[in-house]
Amino acid sequence: MVPLLLFLFGTALAGWTPPFALTQYHDFPDFEQYVIEVAKRNPSFVQLRDIGRTHEGRRLLGLKIGRPSAVPKPAVWIDGGNHAREWPAFHTAIYFIEQFVTRYGQSDRITDYINKLDIYIFPVLNPDGFIFSRTDTKDLIRQWRKNRAPANCTGFHSTTVRNVCCEGVDLNRNWDFSFKQTNYPFNNPCSDEFQGPFPFSEPETRAVRDYVTGRELSGRLHAYFSMHTHGQLWILPYNDHRKHYPEDYKDMERLAFRAAEALYQYRETKYRIGTAADMLGGPATGGATDWIKANTKTKYVFVLELPPDLSSWFAFQVRPHWLLPIAKETWLAVKVILEQTLEDHGLQSRA
């Protein structure tokens, strides 16, 4: 059977996606093949995007989901985060692709989103680290957070143990926002949160920066939604110190509360909303969403720390049977953001 025939006799048929079970964890090649196949089999409204290479030469792949338009359309970015150990976020991004593609032409709302918006989804922005985290069950490997940058030998374990060689950079500390070489632990190559030797030292962060500020997206990216684990935190900019907010913070906060309320309806998952600096009492410098909010015209910029909450210790990878419930409830929040984007541009979707 032909997988996709759009607008046959005036009726749009749903798109096609390959099997990707959200009842188990997948390896990176599964993600890579999935996005390639979705783009290949749905060319009328899905396009593959290859925005760069990692340290180890892997492609940073995502999808542009949107019907072609003669005029620029508002754009929404969704990613599965960039921390290697945060596997549920990557899988949740796949669920979103499933919803957009397989329900196009079947759901008025989904069809409106795709006809009126361009939706960019990048499930895995740190494939090197993700692959490494799945090579062993030892905590040092399984809980790996960073990319796989070559060893930096300026690390330290104490005031006396110096010049230690450690690999990797935290991609969510590598952006040029309040980046300071004197901030501990961000300045220690042996820390999970090592910010790197200088801003945008990593090919992965440069690739995302260049793409969101490049010709295709510059000036039309309206919402940026990045998923991580864990904590049930809805994080707004800015996070370099407490009580530091952009001028339109209240607009973002109102939308976050509405989206979190929609999410709550599924299984009563509660999110805390605010900046990480305010909620957790400590700074997080060099963040991607902070830089994007400060340096682009993007209106709504969010980090979502998926379940479980912070009372669960080291729950970066929930048991696989939780993957689908987490994806389904988060999808309800995403739709609120999409609806707001349509409203802001006078493109309200059908009821």
User: What would you report as the CA-atom Rg of the chain, rounded to the nearest whole angstrom?
Assistant: 20
- Name residues whose C-beta falls within 8 Å of residue 201's C-beta, 6 or more positions apart in sequence: 149, 169, 174
CA distances 349 to 12, 45, 108, 113, 201, Å, are 17, 18, 8, 7, 41
- Name residues whose C-beta falls within 8 Å of residue 194's C-beta, 6 or more positions apart in sequence: 146, 152, 166, 168, 169, 170, 173, 185, 186, 187, 188
| CA–CA separation, 38 and 209 (whole Å) | 25
| CA–CA separation, 168 and 344 (whole Å) | 40
Would you call 56 a catalytic residue per the annotation?
Answer: no
- In the Cβ-directed half-sphere of 40, how many Cα atoms lie within 13 Å? 7
Query: Which residue is listed with tokens 């669920």?
Result: 95
Q: What is the DSSP letter of 177?
A: S
User: Is-contact 290 177, C-beta < 8 A?
Assistant: yes
Catalytic residue among 86, 167, 305, 329: 305
| CA–CA separation, 61 and 81 (whole Å) | 13
User: Is-contact 296 218, C-beta < 8 A?
Assistant: yes
User: Is-contact 77 48, C-beta < 8 A?
Assistant: no
Cβ neighbours, 10 Å, residue 212 = 22
Burial of 94 (0-12, 13-18, 19+ CB in 10 A): buried
**Active site residue ranges:** 305
